[in-house]
Every structure is written in structure tokens, then in C-alpha cells.
Amino acid sequence: MRDLRAFLEEQAGAIWDVPGPLALRHELTALQHLLDSQGAFPILRASGLQALSGAATTISVVTNLTASRELTARSLGIQDHRDTARWFAARTAAGIDPVVVERRDAPVQQVIWEGDAADLTRLPILTQHELEPGPYLTAAHATTFDPDTGVDNTAIQRSWVKGPRRMTWFPYPTTHNARNLRKFWDAGEPCPVAFWLGHHPAVLLGTQAKLKYPESHWRAAGGVLGEPLRLVPSVLHGERIMVPADAEIVIEGFSPPNQYSADGPFGEYTGYLGHQVQAPICEVSCITMRRDAIYHDYASGLTDMLVPDNMAMEGKLFQMVRAVAPSLVNVHVPTEGRRFHAYLQLRNPGRGEARDALMAALAYRRVKTVIALDEDVDIFAPQSVLWALSTRVQWSRDAITVDGLSGSSLDPSMPAGAGTASKMGIDATLPPAPRAGAPKPVAPVATVPRGVADRVATLIPATLPAGWPRI
């Protein structure tokens, strides 16, 4: 069985048990900012904490779980993280159906708090950034369902804990959970919702697969996990909302019709704080968990949050672009571009094909800049991408800007009141060869013979001396 604790056991060497005690307010997140800036991505585990109520808790906190792209890829069974796009596209498309287990076989229901005992302040929930108004669930996977079809939907949606049994949650208006919520509210009914936290990274990524509406994420999660996802009926909603049986914590409740409350500011994937908004309220009726539960937190706006969603985006972009550009061989959504940049790697694209690929990728809502690159460019190395941009692009010829496409309102550069974005595609590929087998009609890249490079490479010390300049 693959779950969060099994993963942590496998990855003991990548875990830093942070010396404590640490405050839930800002301190763990401050560590993550410092580690990110140093390019170090251990999993952080903190214990001996106080819950929001101030009482001691045995619930430990795990964060930075997915800050390392390399480790996250390996957790999926991808030996080389650069193979993510094709792997993710294939696994989510194939899928594996979930299975339903008995309650007695569901670790996440070993402990059940109901009524007044369902008290969110008994959990160790972090407040991450300055100007955020309070503790937020940042890794809560909100599961709702479409009342017309019964088909469930799952997405990560931040939740501000406002009291023992009350919180806001923010399904962005274009999301499938927002559509489900609206359908219940239009019928004058409260929207049932369950938030589950803590699972194997493969399940976390699988449930972020980009799907149509309505379409359950459980099958895609099973595909990424490589085995059926074990589900159990939630305590409050029964079979109407199933939850992962091997999760760590589940919070169940209802969103009463048309009841909103202020929510935010909150740190977003852009690296900026999102505005205060009005968000639906959730009244919590039940909390279930494992006996020795682990509370999972995503560091908002840091690599911990960017890596998993960007990897899922690569899978979706691979599917979208490959449909119109068969020469596509790889996709990278780099964390330095947040979720706004995508690099497409093409193998000898025919005339027009690079532009076809650019147009397909620009249709992805969050993507704002797409660069088409050749196979000799390392799309995982920023210096290699910039080299191609500087030597293979004439801007008036190779850059395409398109206005009025769907975009992200979280983009701080969006004009006030804009409902759509201005996007750019850049063809940074070399021109095609005039005939098959001929060299590209441009100057060759300066190289040294492969055999010579391999031979002298052994002369370089495995660990570079500290005195050698790095820049």
C-alpha cells in the first residue's frame, strides 16, 4: 500500500526533522523560503507542536514534501524527472479504477471527531506569510460532486480556519468545484464537501490531473499511483462523497447557500499575495484521521507547491500539443516561470509545425509564454533556453502575441478589470533543412569531439574545491 507514511519511510535520507519547538506562525515557512533560495529541498518534519488552541498535539507536520522535482518524480516511479511529460500523459490517460474498502479497513477513519469535538483548532495549522489573516489549510483536497450526475471532483483549495467549526474555502470561479457548488446553491441546497489531507505524492499529483467536467479524479490518481486508489465513504456524506482511505486527515462539512465571508490576502503560486476576496463558508461537522495523524502543508508560492502542479501541467500540455505537432518530444513547465511559462521541445519540426505547437500550448489557461525549442537545447537548463532565444530568434519574425485568451487573474501584470490575458509564443527553433539528411542551413554549434570530452571529464574532481570561483 502506498501512502504518505510509507513514502516517508522510503525517503528517510531526504527528511530533515526540524529541531523545535517551532511556532506554526511563519517559522516553518521562513525555513522553506531560506532553503528554496539556497536550492536545497529536504522534506521538513516538525513534531512536539502546539495546536491552534494552544494545547500540545501529537500530530506532526510535514511540509516541503514535493519541493524537489527529482524526488517527486522518483516517488512516481519516473527515474529521470525529465521524462515526466510523456509519462504523466500516458498514466493519466490510461487510469486505474478505484476500489471501495470497508470502514474498518480505512486508516483515515480510525479516529472520528463529530459535533463540537470536530474542532479545527485541535490541528497544527500554519500561518505562512505576512499579511495573511490567519491559519490556512494549504494542502486540503476539496472533494465535491455534480448533483446532476453524481460525478465527483477534487482540487486543492485553500481554507482559512476562522473558528473551531467554521472556515472559508476558495474554489476559484472557473473551477469544477465552483460549478458544483453553484448547482447546489441554485437549487437552494447546501453543498456537501470533504477536504482530505496527506497522501502519497503520486496520489497528490494524480488528483491534479487536468480533466474535463464532470470527470472524477480517482481514476487518474490510480493511474499515476500504479494501483487502484482505495476509497471509503465519508462519515457525514456517505457514498455521495468518497475519500481516500489511506489519507491522513479528512474534514467534512457543508457550504450553506450563498454564504460568503472575507478570505485572504493569501500567498499564491505567483509569489505574490492574492487580494482579499469573498469566499464560501464551510461549516465543519466531522473530522476523521489516523491515530497518529500527520498534517500535510504546502508552502504556498514556493517550489513545494509549484513542482507537483507544474509536472501535472506538463502531462496535459504534452497531450494538447502532440495532437497538432507530432514532432513534440518533451515539455517543461519551469518553476522559475511559476505556471506561466512552458518550453516545448520539437524534433525536426516541419514548416509551420513549431507555430502550430505554440498556438496549442497558448490555449492552456495559465500558460502565458511558450517557447518552441530544438532537441539540442536542454529545456531543463535556463542558460540553454536563453542561448536559443539569443541566437535563433528574430523577434518580428518569430514572436507571436495573441490577446484575449483565457488567463489567470492572479497574474499581477493583468490590467485592472481585464478578463483575458495577452500571451506570447516564441519560435526559437532553427529553420528546417532544405532536404532530408541535409544539415540545417545555419552555422554549426561549436563542440568538441565526444570521445575527447568523455576522456578529460575524469580529470575534474568529483567534489569541486571550495576555492574555485563559481561565478
CA–CA dist 358, 324 (Å, integer):
10
**Which C-beta is closer to other proteins: that of 280 or that of 349?**
280
Sign of CA dihedral 398, 402, 406, 410: positive
Min dist CB 399 to other proteins, Å, is 18
Cβ burial, residue 74 (10 Å; 0-12/13-18/19+):
middle
**Which C-beta is closer to other proteins: that of 6 or that of 131?**
131
Strand pairing category for 273-274 and 266-267: antiparallel
**Which C-beta is closer to other proteins: that of 277 or that of 399?**
277
C-alpha cell at 448: 568538441
| In contact, 72 and 308? CB cutoff 8 Å | yes
Phi first, then psi, for residue 286 (nearest 5°) are -155, 140
- Closest to 248 (Cα-Cα) out of 193, 302, 208, 297: 297
Phi first, then psi, for residue 203 (nearest 5°) are -70, -40
Contacts with other proteins, residue ranges (CB under 8 A): 26, 130-134, 260-262, 264-265, 273-278, 412, 414-418
Bridge partners, residue 421, by sequence: 405
C-alpha cell at 104: 474498518
Min dist CB 170 to other proteins, Å, is 11
Min dist CB 133 to other proteins, Å, is 4
**Residue 391 CB contacts under 8 Å (≥ 6 apart), including other chains:** none
**Residue 313 CB contacts under 8 Å (≥ 6 apart), including other chains:** 210, 333, 339, 342, 364, 366, 367
**Residue 318 CB contacts under 8 Å (≥ 6 apart), including other chains:** 85, 86, 88, 89, 328, 330, 331
Strand ranges of the sheet holding 238-244, from the earlier edge strand across to the other edge: 99-100, 230-234, 238-244
**Which C-beta is closer to other proteins: that of 16 or that of 172?**
172
Min dist CB 231 to other proteins, Å, is 35
**Which C-beta is closer to other proteins: that of 359 or that of 405?**
405
Min dist CB 233 to other proteins, Å, is 33
**Which C-beta is closer to other proteins: that of 133 or that of 214?**
133
**Which C-beta is closer to other proteins: that of 134 or that of 352?**
134
Min dist CB 416 to other proteins, Å, is 4
Min dist CB 405 to other proteins, Å, is 16
Min dist CB 411 to other proteins, Å, is 9
**Which C-beta is closer to other proteins: that of 58 or that of 259?**
259
Min dist CB 414 to other proteins, Å, is 6
C-alpha cell at 114: 463529530
| In contact, 135 and 126? CB cutoff 8 Å | yes
CA angle 389, 394, 397 (to 5 degrees): 125
Min dist CB 26 to other proteins, Å, is 8
**Which C-beta is closer to other proteins: that of 66 or that of 127?**
127
| In contact, 97 and 32? CB cutoff 8 Å | no
**Which C-beta is closer to other proteins: that of 132 or that of 356?**
132
| In contact, 235 and 109? CB cutoff 8 Å | yes
